[in-house]
Amino acid sequence: MEITLKLTQLDPSVRARLAVLLRMTKTRTRLCLGILALFASAFVAQAAETIPPKPDRYFNDYAGVVSSGAAQRFNEQLAQFERETSDQVLVVVYHTMQSDSSIDDYTRRVAQAWGVGQKNQRNGVVLFVFVDDRKMFIQVGYGLEGALPDFTAFDITERHIKPLFRNQDYEGGIATGIDLICKAIRGEYKGSGKTTRESGSSQNNPAGLLVFFFVLVIILLAMRASRRFGGYRYTGGGGPFVSGNWGSGGGWSSSSSGGGFSGFSGGGGSFGGGGAGSSW
């Protein structure tokens, strides 16, 4: 609703000017102006909300309030937590919230878009901190709502993190938050000893494999048919070569300690609106 209001507020003066311009110019220029206007309006409309891009690590400080040593420590702590429990816990610190919606609604959609947590267990938790807005929120995935219910999340943000944030101790506040969140949800699920990125499992492999086998069968049938009519032999030398390629193809997605840090890959978990937050 707000977006259309902005445009109609622009319209009266712009419309008058456009009318004068249009009377003087040719059709081609009118077309260019029209396209320009479309682009301009699209730009205005998009400014209402942005879903930030999926982060690459478990601990992401886009506001620069935590030292790099602590950031590294937090990242490893959370990566290790995923190895042990399969729960994906993320911490993201931004300057401000890029949305006109409420914090619980916006952060849920962001967490859902990032697919934090394993797909079947839905065990993702994201701690959002907006430093300039002085607001934070813990989003809890469906699978962890029992272990980390709303009043526990509220207790963590209000009574443990908030006092430290009030004193500008962001590092201490975040450390406390991470420890308490992990303590609450540990034991709910078992980990596999590897993070999602390390195990290199991607959901589209099975479908790709099926397509590959299908294509292989068609090629083999076509070869057999051509042999019957063409009369020359073709050994199945193409088979092992192609399947070998696929085997290495599965391995390229795992990067683990590429740049000296443990990377995060979303498992496809979903969020139902559980969690709580505070402002300081």
Q: Output b/e per residue, 260-278; b: 16+ Cβ within 10 A.
A: ebbbbbbbbbbbeebbbbb
Please state the closest distance from residue 159 (CB atom) to other proteins, in A. Answer: 8
- Strand 124-130 and strand 88-94: the pairing is parallel
- How many whole angstroms from its chain centre is CA 133? 22
CB nearer other proteins, residue 266 or residue 277: 277
- Cβ closest to other proteins, residue 74 vs residue 271: 271
In whole angstroms, the minimum distance from the beta carbon of 137 to other proteins comes to: 10
Does position 149 interact with other proteins (CB under 8 A)? The reply is yes
Alpha-carbon span 90 to 111, nearest angstrom: 9
Site membership for other proteins, residue 153 (CB under 8 A): yes
Q: How many CB atoms lie within 10 A of CB 109?
A: 16
In the bound complex, what is the minimum distance in angstroms from residue 151's beta carbon to other proteins? 4
Nearer to other proteins, 78 or 125 (CB): 125
Q: Number of residues in contact with other proteins, rule: CB under 8 A?
A: 16
Instruction: Give me the 247-276 binding string for other proteins, x by CB under 8 A, dash otherwise.
Output: ------------------------xxxxxx
Q: φ, ψ for residue 130 (rounded to 5)?
A: -110, 100
CB of 202 to other proteins, least distance (A): 25
Q: Which of 94, 154, 189, 261 binds other proteins (CB under 8 A)?
A: 154
Nearer to other proteins, 78 or 181 (CB): 181
Q: Does 188 bind other proteins (CB under 8 A)?
A: no
Min. distance of Cβ 104 from other proteins in angstroms? Answer: 5
Alpha-carbon torsion, ordered 81, 82, 86, 88, to 10 deg: 110
With 0-12 CB in 10 A as exposed, 13-18 as middle and 19+ as buried, what is 142? middle
Write the DSSP symbol of residue 95.
Answer: S
> Which one of 76, 84, 158, 188 is in contact with other proteins (CB under 8 A)?
158
Instruction: Pick out residues in 16-55 that bind other proteins (CB under 8 A).
Output: none
| CA 263-119-252 angle, 5° bins | 40
Q: Taking contact as CB under 8 A, which single stretch among the options 55-63, 64-72, 91-99, 151-159 is the one that binds other proteins?
A: 151-159
DSSP symbols for 25-77: S-HHHHHHHHHHHHHHHHHHHHTT--PPPPPSSSEEESS--S-HHHHHHHHHH
Which residue in the block uniquely carries the two structure tokens 């009030």? Answer: 166
Among 76, 84, 155, 188, binds other proteins (CB under 8 A): 155
At 231 the three-state DSSP class reads coil
Site residues (CB under 8 A) for other proteins, limited to 101-130: 104-105, 108
When the beta carbons of 263 and 274 are compared against other proteins, the nearer one is 274
Chain contacts with other proteins (rule: CB under 8 A): 104-105, 108, 149-151, 153-155, 158, 271-276
